[in-house]
Amino acid sequence: MGGMFLLLAYLACGLVASDALFRKRSGLIRVWLGLTGGLLMMMWFPVLFAFAMTFCVAAQWLGLGLAALVAGVCFWSRRHLRRADGPFCGNMPAWLPIVLVVPLTALSGYLQFTHILRDVDGALHVGQSTYGDLCLHLGIATSLQNASFPPDYSILKGTLLGYPFLADSMVTSMLLFGADLAQSYVVTGTLMMALVYLGYVVLAWELTCRPLAVVLAFILMFINGGLGFLYMLDGVMKDSTALEQVFTGFYQAPTNMPELNLRWVNVICDMMIPQRTLLGGWTQLLPTLYLLSVGIREKRGETFVILGIWAGALPMLHTHSFLALGMLSAGAMGYQALRAPVKERKPLMIHFLIYGIIAVGLALPQLMTWTFPQTIGGGSLALRFNWVNNQGNGQLIDEYFWFWIKNVGLVYILIVPAVLSAKKGGLCRTLAAGALVIYVIAEFIQFQPNEYDNNKLFYVAFMAVLPAVGLYLAELWDKLRGVRGRALLAACFMLASTLSGALTIGREIVSDYQLFSASEVEAAAFISENTLEKSMFLTGQQHNNAVAALTGRYILCGTGSYLYFHGVDYAQQQADAGKLYQNPAENLDLLEQYGIDYVYISSQERRDFAVDEAFFASYGELVYENFEVRIYAVSETAKAWHENAA
């Protein structure tokens, strides 16, 4: 309960601060910005104190105290202002957020529950999309407990954790107050998904002020998928079991088939559910897009100041969101410099300058400490044209436009006419100009070792232009009034635009995979309760590493599936782990060099290495054993610990 109390306390602080700062906005917007702001404070404030005292319980209390102080100052300074009159949702129809947000939030809550450490007879199960990514986030959350800052990778001790970790450290805060690991992820994940849905409704309404446009943009954003269903139907015609494979095969859904060059995945299933960092980033990105839009429309300096602070907090939450926001803001500023009325240009450019100075000033220490050393130092930046459609030798797999059409779907064809039909100088065109900057840069520059990750930039561009597409489709619907077959045409378009996404969501709903066996869970519980918090373990390099994910203990070397794509050099530790398992007698110096306290041997280590268990049985002390797992204490510190505990 302590962890949930902490979460609720931060949310309450956010609501108080938002109610003061945004008193002229509708109640719905104040609540949305308050909840997202509360989460942002929960992610950042304890970290500020962790540099002086580790990420401990005291840092959490001080962080919460700072949040209460911020809320109090905001309330006191704005107490004389009256709240906005009118309906809770302002000029937005109340049914709009209810009809759109509630169903997808219920779906998301179910997927969070089934996809994050669901207990099945003592084993822990997940869904298809979380089978690969979840363990990284679990390991970060569990290892940050009482960690010194800036922290190291728990899966490669001595290497700075340059991966954005704030969406996971929020869970760490809850763990320090006694919360359950799975429950903390499910509750915060569901909340963030709800805020993303609500935020997109608010943004789309701000840009269009038309319910049908908001509905269309929302559906095209979250039930997204390209023309992969056509390939699926072709497969069904040849093999009647192909449809069954969509729901039972591993990544056979029509939005993610690399062998067919289908990579524009459904954002709910393959982005928001498994990619915790992206989810946290989008939760905070949408308020910045809203504030940017409102700031351009209202031209109030205060809005740009708040925007600068909010944007400056993004890098270690989700660097791609920060980068995309910067690109989009640059494009929006350039467009407004050309299109805004002459008398408004200078003050608007000054507001943009203030926003940029604040955002860069807050972001630069994060980038210098964490991002640049890992991205630039790791050699991640590279020139690469046309995202994953490039084979790496300059040859495209599919023809350029066909690649994007088959991946994004029919909506891709409508983006340009939709933007051109939008009001000149309006917000839709302004954000579209920013989206174009993102699109062009991401089409030519690869920012990480995994070229696939540029989709985290493309999706922000997609997010920004869809309200214009929704408005275009709504206006087209009006123009076709009285034309026979209008409803059928619209239904065919929406079916073609959402069928791949709907099938993918259906597949994710029924997916079920065991991540950790009951024996591994029992062993992890023993480690958590009976070893020192910063002990070092020798384990295998499997991605579903129970020691790293469930206990937060350091391991000699984690999986290359994480480390390689983070631009981290782990070759020496990987090689040394193999030597220690297979020839420990000849490599005893490595045990001391790396400070290894325990050797963990499960069925996975026995599968991957010719483990010399006889040596460890004679050299170390067997401190735990079950059906599948044995744990040997091999350092004097570890042996003495267990002797004293006995």
Instruction: Give the span between the Cα atoms of 291 and 203, in whole angstroms.
Output: 9
Instruction: Give the span between the Cα atoms of 600 and 111, in whole angstroms.
Output: 32
Residues of the chain with pLDDT under 50: none
Q: Phi and psi at residue 535, in whole multiples of 5°?
A: -65, 155
Residue-level pLDDT at 377? 60
Instruction: Give the span between the Cα atoms of 467 and 297, in whole angstroms.
Output: 16
DSSP 346-359: HHHHHHHHHHHHHH
Residue 600: CB atoms within 10 Å: 24
- Edge-first strand listing for the sheet containing 123-126: 118-120, 123-126, 513-516
Residue-level pLDDT at 196? 98
**Using an 8 Å Cβ cutoff, are 16 and 76 in contact?**
no
Tokens of 208: 């269009």
Cis bond leading into 417, ω under 30°?
Answer: no
**Using an 8 Å Cβ cutoff, are 406 and 226 in contact?**
yes
Tokens of 325: 């926001």
pLDDT digits (tens, 9 = 90+) for 336-378: 999 888 888 899 999 999 999 999 999 999 999 888 887 666 5
Q: Under the phi-then-psi rule, with left for phi > 0, alpha for psi from -120 to 50, and beta for the rest, what region is 299? A: left
Give me the numbers of helices (H) and strands (E) for the chain, helices first please: 29, 12
Residue-level pLDDT at 274? 97
Residue-level pLDDT at 75? 94
H or E element in which residue 184 lies: helix 181-208
Tokens of 226: 């390209």
Helices 276-298 + 166-176 axis angle, to 10 = 120
**Using an 8 Å Cβ cutoff, are 201 and 96 in contact?**
yes
pLDDT digits (tens, 9 = 90+) for 440-471: 999 999 988 888 899 999 999 999 999 999 99
Instruction: Give the span between the Cα atoms of 510 and 149, in whole angstroms.
Output: 40
The pTM (predicted TM-score) of the whole model is: 0.96
Q: Phi and psi at residue 123, in whole multiples of 5°?
A: -85, 160
Instruction: Give the span between the Cα atoms of 344 and 353, in whole angstroms.
Output: 14
The 3-state secondary structure of 188-254 reads: HHHHHHHHHHHHHHHHHHHHHCCHHHHHHHHHHHHCCCCCHHHHHHHHHHHCCCHHHHHHHCCCCCC
Residue-level pLDDT at 379? 56
List the end-to-end C-alpha distance of the chain, in Å, as a whole number.
Answer: 32
pLDDT digits (tens, 9 = 90+) for 172-212: 999 999 999 999 999 999 999 999 999 999 999 999 999 99
**Using an 8 Å Cβ cutoff, are 608 and 555 in contact?**
no
DSSP 90-120: TTS-THHHHHHHHHHHHHHHHHHHHHS-EEE
**Mean pLDDT, rounded, of the chain:** 94
> Which residues have C-beta within 8 Å of that of residue 240, sequence separation ≥ 6?
none
Residue type at position 597: D
Residue type at position 118: R
